[in-house]
Amino acid sequence: MAITAGVVAVQGDVNEHAEAVVEAAADHGEAATVIEIRESGLVEDCDVLLMPGGESTTISRLIHREGIAAEIREHVASGKPVLATCAGLIVAASDAGDDRVETLDLLDVHVQRNAFGRQKDSFEAPLDVDGLDESFHAVFIRAPVISEVGDVDVLATWDGRPVAVRDGPVVGTSFHPELTGDHRIHELAFFE
């Protein structure tokens, strides 16, 4: 039996996430079929969902306009998993600190966009992640800071700040776990 993985594809890094989820599934002896979500009516067919990086203002505007936002909320309400990365994390948060982003309130965190500072616009860091035996090489690109955490599990921190969190079926990361060929974060979100 194959699982169906939906990548929210209105804008942002779609292909890398599609590859990562297929490989993560294969490691668990499962096949994954990937569908790209740009319109309503597809989310209900998905076992797992990915909300990629990109531009959170654009992603939030389009998923609301297309009627996808409410479907993502229903997916989570029924206990199905979501991995939300970078801009995806911003959209999934309860507060993005920016009126142009209408958040989905799937993760009980406040974020600040682009807040790791200009010199650190993009950087890479080895992270200790709860649930992984060895460190994860994380790539941060104009990454959001998680500035307040509510009722979530913090899975990893960098520089004293949370950069990976879990709120029930939803995992959010400030960084891009799809860019390095290491799909352990996808496994953690979907298969463990």
**24 is a site residue for ligand GLN (CB under 6 A):** no
Give the residue among 114, 106, 81 at the shortest CA–CA distance from 186.
81
Of residues 19, 55, 95, 182, which one binds ligand GLN by CB under 6 A? Answer: 55
Shortest distance, position 158 Cβ to ligand GLN, whole Å: 15
Whether residue 17 lies in the annotated active site: no
Task: Kindly state the number of chain residues that form the binding site for ligand GLN, as judged by CB under 6 A.
Answer: 11
Helix axes 68-77, 56-65, angle to 10 degrees: 90
Shortest distance, position 140 Cβ to ligand GLN, whole Å: 8
Catalytic residue among 16, 17, 86, 187: 86
Residues 6+ apart with CB under 8 A from 84: 50, 51, 91, 92, 106, 107, 170, 171, 172, 173
**163 is a site residue for ligand GLN (CB under 6 A):** no
Whether residue 176 lies in the annotated active site: yes
Determine the 3-state secondary structure of 78 from DSSP. Answer: coil
Give the residue among 104, 100, 77, 98 at the shortest CA–CA distance from 147.
98
User: Is the CB of 46 or the CB of 174 nearer to ligand GLN?
Assistant: 174
Please name the amino acid found at residue 96. A
Contact status, residue 170 vs residue 160, Cβ threshold 8 Å: no
Whether residue 178 lies in the annotated active site: yes
User: Is the CB of 33 or the CB of 114 nearer to ligand GLN?
Assistant: 114
Ranges within 81-100 binding ligand GLN (CB under 6 A): 86-87, 90
Catalytic residues: 86, 176, 178
Residues at the site binding ligand GLN, with contacts judged by CB under 6 A = 53-56, 86-87, 90, 113-114, 141-142
